[in-house]
Amino acid sequence: MSKTEYDLVVVGSGAAGLVCAITAKKRGLSVVVLEKEPVFGGTTALSGGVLWVPLNVHGRKQNPKDSAQAVHTYLKHETGSMFDEATTQAFIENGPKMVDFLERETEMKFVPTLYPDYHPDVPGGVDIGRSILAAPYDIRGLGKDMPRLKLPLKTITFIGMMFNSSNADLKHFFNVTKSLTSFIYVTKRLMSHIKELALYRRAINVTSGNALAARLAKSALDLGIPILTDTPANQVLVEGERVIGVLTRNKDGERRFVGRRGVVLACGGFPHDDKRLALAYPHVRRGHQHLSPTPVANTGDGVNMAESVGAVVDIRFADSAAWMPVSRVDFGKGEFGVFPHLLDRYKPGVIGVLMDGRRFTNESNSYHDVGAAMTRACQDMAETAMWLVCDKTALQKYGLGYVKPAPLPFGRLIKNGYLLEGATLADLAKKAGINADGLEKTVRDYNEYALKGEDPAFHRGKTAFNRYLADAENTPNPCVAPIVKGPFYAVKLVMGDLGTFDGIETSVVGEVLRRDGTAIQGLYAVGNDRASMMGGNYPAAGITHGPNMTFGYLTANHIADQTGATT
């Protein structure tokens, strides 16, 4: 068994862990990052790469009237009984500092987005200026480490090509058959991507979470921070009352990593810890299906190690995860993927129904809000599931789930059962196993008002966020259109998540706490291992990365301050 000593040991290579490592290194500490998987990037590399950081330098240009008081008001409204004053103030103060630090000192670059808050019409909410996005990145900058960057989700790429999650990129692909400008744009993108595949067998110009993970990893590696992949941490090492390191085990045996100043857990929460999910997720407790597109290696290592030395890891939130309705995609030969429904629900002419055939929520609300509504609406049903339903017009124009818009073919997806097709709504309902009378009545009632662009039942299109991911060219309501032209189509969705909200109880600066409120010396938690400041709520695009990276930055600075490290 070999022994390696550093000032700080960071367990996990997602955004929070890497920001913590980079900040600590810049403060003069020696740092190592340990990663369980053979690739780095964690959940970050699969994500949209958006950060919610109110009052950041880019957002202030978009919305100069925004204020700390407005942000405070919004967070207090959104988090309700879980609101924490000290944590909120620390986030508001340090979020912009984190962004400035990364852009000034590292390879990290951000661009503004047009995202509204998810609830822009409530007190403190805004229509623009708080969410930013990792700028695209040419991963050849990683040099020999390029193959170690985790690939994006297969289900949300097109022949391996990534789309910019800011939505502007996708508009060209949706309009490729209707606009010469979009046709030229898409043609250039495809030609460039095909060249990349021929030379490197993967996309080189990456966007979204892949760009965020790549830029942070590049920054860490340039600073001389080792990112040791295939190095899972299995045990926290304790001497007396203090955590002094971790024990790892892999094919090469055991290694002991000592952190003289501390150990930071950043293992990505517990979205694949079946035992803990049975306690945390109401639909799993009911025996219903759950599919998570997060890395399968996120099995709760951090929370389990912390709990083993006295940390508090309670299930405290009504919604323990960032819910994401997903569908199961069969790739054949025993391989399947999980498709997160990020866009199709917002499009006009697409509705969501339960097994009784009725709608149950505003489909154009955020994935978390739709997921929470779905979990509650299905509590007395045989499964937690919904079906997205549309007609031929909407399918050709927007696609549905993994099904791409025209002119791309979808026959294979009908044959394997992913896409259900019916000549009539009753025929579709029979194939889907949902109530035919209920579906026909739902569509009939919906169409009565949809012809006028109205949705009195659930008010789709009411907020700026509803409209943001819809179709601006569909008037008078970008979210609403009738379902009239057969054949009709459906895709079945079950519950998934983008990561867990519940986690390790910490102080504001990330110290892991015991039940009596005292800190476990030398042990810290950041990212999804730390209980979310949002209290099980999802106020805006990027409320995971923004706070996670901010508190990674804050935790590293706290550790450095305790050691008298330089600034």
Task: Kindly state whether residue 10 falls inside one of the protein's structural domains.
Answer: yes
Domains held by the chain: number: 3
Based on the domain organization, do 339 and 350 belong to the same domain? yes
Based on the domain organization, do 235 and 358 belong to the same domain? no
- Tokens encoding 105: 């000192």
Domain assignment of residue 173, given as a range: 163-202
Based on the domain organization, do 479 and 514 belong to the same domain? no
pLDDT band at 203 (very low <50, low <70, confident <90, very high): confident
Mean pLDDT of 360-364: 98
Cα–Cα distance for residue pair 33/394, rounded to 1 Å: 47
Q: What percent of the chain has pLDDT over 90?
A: 88
Based on the domain organization, do 24 and 75 belong to the same domain? yes
- Is the separation of the CB atoms in 457 and 446 below 8 Å? yes
Task: Kindly state whether residue 151 falls inside one of the protein's structural domains.
Answer: yes
Indicate if the pLDDT at residue 192 is higher than 80.
no
- Flag the least confident range among 144-158, 256-270, 343-357: 144-158
pLDDT of residue 187: 74
Closest-CA residue to 16 (of 36, 52, 42): 42
pLDDT of residue 168: 57
* pLDDT per residue as tens digits for the range 476-513: 999 999 999 999 999 999 999 999 999 999 999 999 99
Based on the domain organization, do 210 and 195 belong to the same domain? no
Residue 180 parent element (H or E): helix 180-200
- Tokens encoding 40: 């780095």
- Is the separation of the CB atoms in 491 and 329 below 8 Å? no
- Is the separation of the CB atoms in 148 and 202 below 8 Å? no
- Flag the least confident range among 185-194, 286-295, 516-525: 185-194
Tell me the one-letter amino acid at 160.
Answer: G
Tell me the one-letter amino acid at 349.
Answer: G
Pick 177 or 223 by higher pLDDT. 223
What is the four-CA torsion angle of 452, 456, 461, 462, rounded to 10 degrees? 130
DSSP string, 407-474: TS--HHHHHTTSSEEESSHHHHHHHHTS-HHHHHHHHHHHHHHHTTT--TTT-TT-SHHHHHTS-TTS
Based on the domain organization, do 254 and 390 belong to the same domain? no
DSSP E strand stretches across 280-413:
321-332, 335-340, 350-353, 385-391
- Is the separation of the CB atoms in 528 and 11 below 8 Å? no
Based on the domain organization, do 122 and 32 belong to the same domain? yes
Indicate if the pLDDT at residue 166 is higher than 60.
no
Cα–Cα distance for residue pair 538/532, rounded to 1 Å: 10
Domain boundary among the residues 497, 521, 541 is at 497
Cα–Cα distance for residue pair 259/280, rounded to 1 Å: 32
Q: Which residues, other chains included, contact 190 with Cβ-Cβ below 8 Å and sequence gap of 6+?
A: 161
110-112 sheet: strands from edge to edge = 50-52, 131-134, 110-112
Cα–Cα distance for residue pair 542/131, rounded to 1 Å: 6
Task: Kindly state whether residue 566 falls inside one of the protein's structural domains.
Answer: no
Tell me the one-letter amino acid at 266.
Answer: A
Cα–Cα distance for residue pair 373/376, rounded to 1 Å: 5
Indicate if the pLDDT at residue 159 is higher than 70.
no
Q: Give the largest CA-CA distance in the chain.
A: 72
- Is the separation of the CB atoms in 2 and 256 below 8 Å? yes
Based on the domain organization, do 509 and 553 belong to the same domain? yes
pLDDT band at 195 (very low <50, low <70, confident <90, very high): confident
524: helix, coil or strand?
strand
Q: Tell me, what CATH number does 243's domain have?
A: 3.50.50.60
Does residue 405 come out as left (phi exceeding 0), alpha (psi in the -120 to 50 range) or beta? beta
pLDDT band at 408 (very low <50, low <70, confident <90, very high): confident
Indicate if the pLDDT at residue 175 is higher than 90.
no
Mean pLDDT of 505-530: 98
Residue with tokens 């015991």: 514
In sign, the C-alpha dihedral spanning 258, 262, 266, 271 is: positive
Q: Tell me, what CATH number does 334's domain have?
A: 3.90.700.10
Residue 411: φ, ψ to 5°: -55, -40
What average pLDDT does the structure give for the chain? 94
Cα–Cα distance for residue pair 321/531, rounded to 1 Å: 10
Mean pLDDT of 426-451: 98
pLDDT of residue 160: 57
Task: Kindly state whether residue 567 falls inside one of the protein's structural domains.
Answer: no
Indicate if the pLDDT at residue 165 is higher than 50.
no
pLDDT band at 102 (very low <50, low <70, confident <90, very high): very high
- Flag the least confident range among 54-68, 86-100, 190-204, 212-226: 190-204
* pLDDT per residue as tens digits for the range 530-551: 999 999 999 999 999 999 999 9
Judge residue 350's burial from the number of C-beta atoms within 10 Å of its C-beta, 0-12 exposed, 13-18 middle, 19 or more buried.
buried
Give the pTM.
0.94
Cα–Cα distance for residue pair 223/212, rounded to 1 Å: 17
Task: Round the CA-based radius of gyration of the chain to a whole number and report it.
Answer: 23
Q: For 135-147, b where at least 16 C-beta lie within 10 A, e where not — what string?
A: bbbebebbeebbe
Indicate if the pLDDT at residue 75 is higher than 70.
yes
Based on the domain organization, do 305 and 326 belong to the same domain? no
* pLDDT per residue as tens digits for the range 386-403: 999 999 999 999 999 999
* pLDDT per residue as tens digits for the range 297-315: 999 999 999 999 999 999 9
